Structure 1
Amino acid sequence: MADPNRPVTGYPAANPQGNGYSANPPPSGTAYPYAAAPPPPSGAYYGGYQNNAYYPNNYQSDQESVRRATCLRRIFAFVIGLVVIFGTITFIVWLVLRPQLPEFRVDSFSISNFTLGNNSLVSFTSEVRLTARNPNKKMTLTYDHIEAVIFYKSSSISETTVPPFYQPTKNETSLAANFAAAGSFVEKSVLDGINGERGKNGNVNFNFRMLSRVRFEAKAWTTRRRYLKVFCGDLIVGIPTNGSVGALTGGPRQCRVGI
């Protein structure tokens, strides 16, 4: 007959202690049967969470990136602020001064002793008189390095310089550009074009251009020198065949002005 106190095979034996611990603990010095955590791999990256361990270098790197980004944002904001301030000051100055380009008008254009040789040489003397007007109420104008050119269509036939001058506010100044060509060479197309126009009705269509450096000034406020371009087109001059002085026809002509 089987012993009723014998445990059934396949079930763990009852713990007579009743406290969840084994009645027979392992002897002193015996290691517990738990697997030890593996050490961090050789050459592991230090600076973050690695193998459940925290390394502070990554935090320092993040702080450095944040400081760098903050510095760049401040520099960017400073540059934008300077641009806004400069633009605002410029706009206010423009509203107060309202700078305007000067106005130019050709009053007369005379030509004398005009001759064209068969060897494409041209000779003449000419004077172009202009009126320059400063429309500004608060800004004066200073002109220097003034160059003037007479063109037939797009070909230059004579050049000269004009003395510098100064214009107060709301001022009109008369100036003259004197030209002299003594046997200057011109292309055959220019020679044929002038002879063709002159042979029809005695008139020749010239163009006049002037290039100058100009400075706008208003008390303590001064601009840097800029190049002013003056173009006066379709200046029809009657040139008599008897060698007398030819003159501008149709009255004064307004010029285009730009910077």
Structure 2
Amino acid sequence: MGSASRAVSCLCCPCKCLACGLFSCLCSILISLLVTVGVLALIFYLIFRPHMIAATVDSASLVQFTLAQNSALAYNLNVDLTVRNPNKRVGLYYDNVESLALFDGQRFGYAPLDPFFQSTEASTKLSPSFKGQQPLTGDITAANFRSQQTSGKFDIEVKLNAKLRVKVWAFKVPGPKAKISCPITVPVPNSNSAAFQPTDCKVWF
């Protein structure tokens, strides 16, 4: 009874903490704050139920994709993709947006994109373009390139990275870094291969 009375007194009147023990008072206040924050977080989730963003590559084409004897890759790749915000109550700001293109795990293209905002249940069209030259290393990568060239299609990975900010009503809070990975199969330039098929991307934070 005595210990319980002192604990209640400490919570009700911080000035009495010196009498009942400063450490006990601080622990009680900390526990109360943690419980309050946990309850608020649960309420926020139940109300807004945030959903994962989604992305799809709608089209992709290669104007040039050749590998020279010195393993220098000359490339010209155009991509159109759609990023969707499925949330009904949460808007999203995309900052520090960058797109990358990779072949056989090696990055050959990089293109920064403008930051943008997505309102609730909105979609945004993005069109990164990659053009230039980049050396590829390794005999296995060169062999894979020749094999895919013969098959009439290249397996390429397009990535999109962005730092998110979340808008709830008039409030804006920092969000996670979104990473979008799009493994696509693109026909060889000027070939009779089957046309590109829209491809869903993988998203994680």
TM-score range, shorter chain: 0.7 to 0.9
Ranked by relative contact order (alpha carbons within 8 Å, sequence separation 6 or more), the top structure is: 2
For the residues of structure 2 that align with 1:110 and 1:206, how far apart are their CA atoms? Answer: 11
Give CA deviations for 1:72-99 in whole Å, capped at 9, x if unaligned.
1111011010011111111111211222
> SS where residue 224 of structure 1 aligns?
strand
Residue aligning to 2:202: 256
> SS where residue 62 of structure 2 aligns?
strand
> SS where residue 198 of structure 1 aligns?
helix
Aligned Cα RMSD in Å? Answer: 2.2
For the residues of structure 1 that align with 2:128 and 2:38, how far apart are their CA atoms? Answer: 40
Instruction: Report whether the alignment pairs 1:202 with 2:148.
Output: no
Residue aligning to 2:50: 99
Give 1:153 deviation, angstroms. 2.6
For the residues of structure 2 that align with 1:119 and 1:256, how far apart are their CA atoms? Answer: 34
For the residues of structure 2 that align with 1:129 and 1:250, how far apart are their CA atoms? Answer: 12
Of 72, 75, 88, which residue of structure 2 is paired with 1:121?
72
Residue aligning to 2:4: none
How has the CA–CA distance of structure 1 residues 249 and 68 changed in structure 2, closer, same or farther, with 3 Å as cutoff? farther
Give 1:100 deviation, angstroms. 1.8
Structure number having the greater helix percentage: 2
Amino acid at match of 2:160: M
Aligned length: 188
The equivalences for 1:105-184 within 5 A come to 105-182=56-133, 184=134
Instruction: Report whether the alignment pairs 1:237 with 2:186.
Output: yes
For the residues of structure 1 that align with 2:192 and 2:84, how far apart are their CA atoms? Answer: 26
Instruction: Report whether the alignment pairs 1:223 with 2:173.
Output: yes
Tell me if the contact between 2:56 and 2:82 (Cα under 8 Å) persists in the aligned partners. yes
For the residues of structure 2 that align with 1:221 and 1:87, how far apart are their CA atoms? Answer: 19
TM-score by length of 1: 0.67
Of 162, 187, 203, which residue of structure 2 is paired with 1:212?
162
Structure number having the greater strand percentage: 2
Amino acid at match of 2:203: V
For the residues of structure 2 that align with 1:246 and 1:166, how far apart are their CA atoms? Answer: 39
Residue aligning to 2:136: 186
Give 1:226 deviation, angstroms. 2.3
Give 1:120 deviation, angstroms. 0.5
For the residues of structure 1 that align with 2:170 and 2:45, how far apart are their CA atoms? Answer: 14
Give CA deviations for 1:150-185 in whole Å, capped at 9, x if unaligned.
111311121111121111111111111110123x21
Q: Once the two structures are aligned, what percentage of the paired residues are identical?
A: 25
Of 39, 45, 55, which residue of structure 2 is paired with 1:88?
39
For the residues of structure 2 that align with 1:248 and 1:120, how far apart are their CA atoms? Answer: 27
Structure 1: gaps spanning 5 or more residues: 1-66
Tell me if the contact between 2:187 and 2:196 (Cα under 8 Å) persists in the aligned partners. no
Give 1:247 deviation, angstroms. 8.3
Give 1:70 deviation, angstroms. 2.6
For the residues of structure 2 that align with 1:226 and 1:101, how far apart are their CA atoms? Answer: 12
TM-score by length of 2: 0.84
